[in-house]
Amino acid sequence: MPIAHQMASFESQLQQKALTIITTHINADFDAMGAMLAAQKLYPDARVVFPGSQEKNLRNFFIQSMVYLFNLTEIKDIDLDKVTRLVLVDTCSADRIGPLSRLLTRPDLQIHVYDHHPAKSDDIVTPHKIQRITGATVTLMTEILKEKAIHISAEEATIMCLGIYEDTGSFTFTSTTAEDLNAAAFLVSKGANISVIANMISREISPEQIGHLNDLIQNASRHTINGVDIVLTYAVLDNYLPDFAFLVHKMVKIEEINALFVLAMMDNKVYVMGRSRTDEVDVGRIIETLGGGGHPSAAAATIKGQTLMQVEQTLLKALQLHVKGQRRARQLMSSPPITADAQTSCTEAKKILTRYNINALLVVSNIDGTRRLLGYITRQVIEKAIYHMLDHVPIKEYMTSEPAVVAPDAELFEIQEKIIGNQQRVLPVVHEGDILGVITRTDLLTVLIQHSRDMNNRSFSKTLNTTRRRTRNINRFMQERLSKRVLETLLSIGQVATDLSFNAFVVGGFVRDLFLYRPNEDIDIVIEGDGIAFAEAYARAVGARIHTHKVFGTAVIIFTDDFKIDVATARIEYYRSPAALPDVEMSSIKLDLFRRDFTINTLAIQVNPDQFGRLIDYFFAQQDLKDKAIRVLHNLSFVEDPTRVFRALRFEQRFDFTIGKLTASLIENALKMDFFKRLSGRRVFTEIRLILEEENPVNAIQRMGDFNLLQVIDPAIDLNKALIERLDGVRGVISWHDLLFTETAYFRWTIYFMVLIDNCGPVTAKQICDRLELPPKYRHILCDQRFDAQAQLLRLESRLPVSDSQLYHALHGYRTELILYMMAATRLRAVKKAISYYYTQLRDRSTAIGGQDLIAMGLTPGPVFRQILDAVLEAKLNGRLKTRDDELAYAEQWIGGHSDDHNLLDSKGLSQ
């Protein structure tokens, strides 16, 4: 039907006196702006309202140069209750018009829509809709204006033509239609200024934009998905960058990319932009699955509450689903397959099904170390067996044996024939006897449904096996930064792993600190294979010994000089409940890295000889190191392991990083849900101790206070200004001590802890120790000895000044932690000075004479020796004795003064 006829049904409404507003989607582009201007020509009494922010170039251009053309009104100046008609251009989605979406709930509201995007199931429903797929919405509006013979000025034609040029990529996008070219030609005939349009489309790029564009190019990774090359890249910006779409367009042109997806973290939101110059990648359809919209060649979405990595994984799944390509078994299968041994009981098999949320399980047997497929068993069969009290029976008794299988290159027709023809719930994918994966009936059904909806043969896959990791070789950088011993050790590790046909990676804090230029020779190795078998082989090769932990597949290699290397089997962890310790299974390096706490700890370097120095970054770790950000890998990270909250604060302060906004909100959620109550006290204590052992833990303690984490120790702890000053005092005392006494070993964390719980009485202190499951040696320090030290400190504060001997006897016997605690706890400078004097001058004071000297005087060893030496020490402490001769003379004098003492006479043998 001609557009003019469609418009006829609008005529009566156009004549009514009503408050009409014209709007478009948030982050309006040139097409949206041009379409709003065209709509204003159709609705001359309407007001133009932006629902949110606009592109920066649009603000500059229109507000400074062409604002007079628009009847612009700010949304805050509109009484929405008086709006009777809403005109939407370049969108038909309620999610994209911001606060104006609340108008849509009013039954009396007239809604007129003009949109060039493909129709979606959740589009706004209205009888007044003109929606047709063209390169730009302005094209539709121009046809209406042309048919109605409405006058268009040269300035208006320029603005509208600019929208067509941008949305069609200057007529280079595959979404460009003949109507777009005709509309542009008509607008040029009305005076559209091509020179102005060229300047706006091809404007110069600023230095700041060059930096962001370089980041996008450097962060790019290529993915082959269903045989189609697709480029993914990302950026993390502190603030929203209005003209980011311009950089995406530039990257497509500079790099000559056919399909590009950009993820940008800005203002705690992830913005996804897609551009395509190939029919095989419909970015509008793909980004629609993320809640966004667009057309086949350009689309965008805004996502809240997710990390970059989570959005990337969702996007990759959407690409696997919607990118056209060959559909073979290797693309459709889930891998690795979930299997169970033939002897597994029905009860255990049900647990496996629940753990992985699947409905069928492959049954295998291990013959000579090789896993062989025997059959499969379904959830329905297992539940029936359990219902009949057969929960203890091995699943091999009720499995479906001799299932049909396919090779990894099997095509969809063969897959369909074997699943449907054999009425088989799961179809194993097998190559030379090895089980590579499994295709379920749900997988097949999804592909067939998609095929019926889209005759372009889009494929489906649940796995991301074709995803390429972000890699680069840093061999030279390693040679510059690492010691000769560490380099040689890594090379030898790689060689032994290669000999065993394993892949070896150095991971975690070692790699992180390598890029932070921090010393760290704590080597953590992950083996794709059998970590314990590798450790045993390597220990034999270098003459080291090992300790193994077979449950976790880990080992510690200990060299003759006690240098240690931690080895782990690449593994995946799953949690039976929030805050529980994880269960562990063998896995790949990617899944092993995914289980880690924060993105900055997910870097890995391969050390096999042929790949030595290859850096692997799956989860944007390099970007977060650059941005100095602490971010979790997924939103349930703190649910699975709340102790990660403590580590986030520790890393934030150690590296002077900042916890990401989403991660901070997830911490607050973990506290609100009180997951910490489910943690064992020992795990909480370990994390608190690690924080207190940091070089400067005071800032981390303050951050614990910011998140109300100190209540995990005790709700009564009040982190007020006075307590913070005392904690700073601990830091000063420890720095003083460690500068003078470098060889003294002590538990420095206990001093901070004692100050934290300083106001807790004996009962509360014991409850804290019980809650944190502290070992007896720490309980004794934090409870009994601390209270004794507090009492002694009060005595000192009330009795100063005292003699050296009195000071010595008051403090002698207190361990280093308690001496430093008293120095930090006192508010009196004189007392702190006195304790310092004791520790530096009196603590190790002793007599120069000893028992042999007393025997030489004719005394028989006995209790009197202690009395004499104590008397000598007392006099020496008070400055009366300077030399050894002084001490001998004083001892003789003391003996003479006690000659009437019967015990002394006995000891001298004079009673005869």
pLDDT in tens, 323-339: 865 567 887 888 788 89
Residue 765 has pLDDT above 80, yes or no: yes
Rounded to whole angstroms, the Cα distance separating 703 from 710 reads: 9
Lowest mean pLDDT among 204-218, 540-554, 568-582, 784-798: 568-582
Look at residue 539 in the predicted model and tell me its pLDDT: 96
Look at the pTM and tell me if it is higher than 0.75.
Answer: no
- Tell me if 156 sits within 8 A of 42, measured CB to CB: no
Q: Which helix (H) or strand (E) holds 309?
A: helix 308-322
- Tell me if 615 sits within 8 A of 472, measured CB to CB: yes
pLDDT class for 584, splitting at 50, 70, 90?
very low
Residue 141 has pLDDT above 90, yes or no: yes
Provide mean pLDDT across the span 461-481: 64
Residue 702 has pLDDT above 50, yes or no: yes
Residue 429 has pLDDT above 90, yes or no: yes
Of 655, 638, 594, nearest to 619 (Cα)? 594
Of all residues in the chain, what percent carry a pLDDT higher than 90?
Answer: 44
Residue 906 has pLDDT above 80, yes or no: no
pLDDT class for 720, splitting at 50, 70, 90?
very high
Of 511, 520, 512, nearest to 628 (Cα)? 512
Cis peptide before 582 (omega within 30 of 0): no
Rounded to whole angstroms, the Cα distance separating 430 from 384 reads: 29
pLDDT class for 198, splitting at 50, 70, 90?
confident
Residue 586 has pLDDT above 60, yes or no: no
Pairwise pLDDT comparison (464 vs 589), residue with the higher score: 589
pLDDT in tens, 856-902: 888 888 888 998 998 999 899 888 899 999 989 998 888 888 766 65
Look at residue 334 in the predicted model and tell me its pLDDT: 81
DSSP string, 587-600: --HHHHHHTSSBGG
pLDDT class for 64, splitting at 50, 70, 90?
low
Strand order in the sheet with 604-606: 470-473, 614-617, 604-606, 503-507, 523-528, 564-569, 554-558, 545-549
- Tell me if 891 sits within 8 A of 868, measured CB to CB: yes
Q: What is the mean pLDDT of the chain?
A: 85
User: Beta strand pairing status for 83-89 and 503-507?
Assistant: unpaired
pLDDT in tens, 482-527: 999 999 999 999 999 999 999 999 999 999 999 999 999 899 999 9
CA angle 766, 771, 772 (to 5 degrees): 100
Provide mean pLDDT across the span 368-372: 78
Pairwise pLDDT comparison (541 vs 469), residue with the higher score: 541
Rounded to whole angstroms, the Cα distance separating 426 from 212 reads: 47
Look at residue 2 in the predicted model and tell me its pLDDT: 55
SS3 30: helix
Rounded to whole angstroms, the Cα distance separating 513 from 516 reads: 5
Look at residue 594 in the predicted model and tell me its pLDDT: 82
Provide mean pLDDT across the span 99-125: 88
pLDDT in tens, 145-170: 999 999 999 989 999 999 999 888 88
Look at residue 14 in the predicted model and tell me its pLDDT: 43
Written as one letter, the residue type at 847 is T
Pairwise pLDDT comparison (392 vs 909), residue with the higher score: 392
Cα 833 to the center of its chain, rounded Å: 47
In whole angstroms, how far apart are CA 440 and each of 29, 329, 423, 444, 461? 43, 11, 11, 7, 11
Q: Which helix (H) or strand (E) holds 755?
A: helix 748-756
Look at residue 756 in the predicted model and tell me its pLDDT: 94
Provide mean pLDDT across the span 540-557: 91
Look at residue 66 in the predicted model and tell me its pLDDT: 66
Residue that the structure tokens 């294979």 belong to = 529
Neighbours of 344 (CB within 10 A): 20
Residue 138 CB contacts under 8 Å (≥ 6 apart), including other chains: 31, 34, 35, 38, 160, 161, 163, 164, 167, 183
Provide mean pLDDT across the span 213-221: 86
Provide mean pLDDT across the span 761-776: 92
pLDDT in tens, 842-864: 998 899 999 899 888 888 888 88
Look at residue 326 in the predicted model and tell me its pLDDT: 53
